[in-house]
Chains A and B, each alone.
Chain A
Amino acid sequence: MTRARPKPAIPVDSGEPKIHVALTVNGEPVERQVSVRMLLSDFLRHELGLTGTHVGCEHGVCGCCTVHIDGKSARSCLALVAQVDGAVIRTIESVAAGDGKLHPIQQAFQECHALQCGYCTPGMVMNILARFEEPVPIDLSDDGIRYLLSGNLCRCTGYANIISAVRRAAELLGRT
């Protein structure tokens, strides 16, 4: 026989200040009523179920949560959803083609064995992708690539294969 447990008194509405936001995520229009303190990273994961954006440090150091805001790479843990009302957001879920064909950057990561646990990979790919889309020449020396990746921490690979992958991606994308 199961004993009836008292229900915990979880409030239905916390009474937090709320804001209505309308933005575009991976090409789809999205509208929600959210707490003003909601971070973009939590919005993507919890409201939209886009769990490809990973959350590591929540203070802008690890780079795991990197997405594109209006075409530029940015930390989604350092943006409030309220701030990106009306913006165009792009996450890792949009990078491979609809049929599952990998983007050249993803293909390069696969070919070069540039990931092990994969936790940092979405942030790496979004950062590199934004940089390749920027019309500014890229320094593809080891030092130049390390500079590009300086804001993305990986605790498995030791970075050597990631550096090779960036160079391979540049080949595949004709940016050498």
Chain B
Amino acid sequence: MPATIELAQIDKRFENGVLALQALSVRIAAGQFVSLLGPSGCGKSTVLRLIAGLEPASAGQVLVDGRPAQAGRSVMSYVFQEPTLMPWASVLDNVALPLRIQAMARRRARDKAAEALAAVGLAERAAAYPAELSGGMKMRVSIARALITRPAVLLLDEPFAALDEMTRQRLNDELLGLWGQQAPTAMFVTHSVFEAVYLSQRVLVMGGPPGHLVADLPVALGYPRAPSLRLQPQFTQYCRSVSEALQPAEAGAGAQRS
């Protein structure tokens, strides 16, 4: 079951005194695909870490499914910018890891992992080690691992930033397909306006530091989305309005930095 996410008047100050987020409030409906867009250093990743319960908020409340966010409590998955695979384990064992932590028997966890790998088109590479795979394949493994627990919330922190454009677009489509099957609440951090519009139902534009919400733009395009959508005028229109919202945020960040 997908979960709602609610951030109410969040402040986040790190131990070194840096104020990363200020008075951030947002509510995300269960099963929504939301992108988080903004300049570097505006606290996008911090938002994800707060929702995951990996960091506490300094003020305000983070609620997942109506309960305070806490790592290890709700079924949540996280995809990092790097594939973050265990280099010493086979691809199959990497994908099975979340189930093994949940104390599922090895045999059964591996069967499920094989299914998850098949879903990302890597059934034949199950016995390979991460170092033997390309960047795009490693990221597919990482996504398969994230989805194997059928999470209520899927957090993705610029997962495709390091990939070439073609691989990136293909993985965008694969991600949407997988999301469509399980429909978790998805929160996708990205630098790319096109990626944000192509994937999501809603784009949150952040400014900062300290991070705050600049714009909250719905993307009223249905699913499933095909690659040809990128060429349609509606899509371009959405990209334009998101870019326009991003401009003052970028300018603000530039002024802060100089």
Asked whether A and B interact, the reply is no
Interface set of A (CB-CB < 8 Å, partner B): none
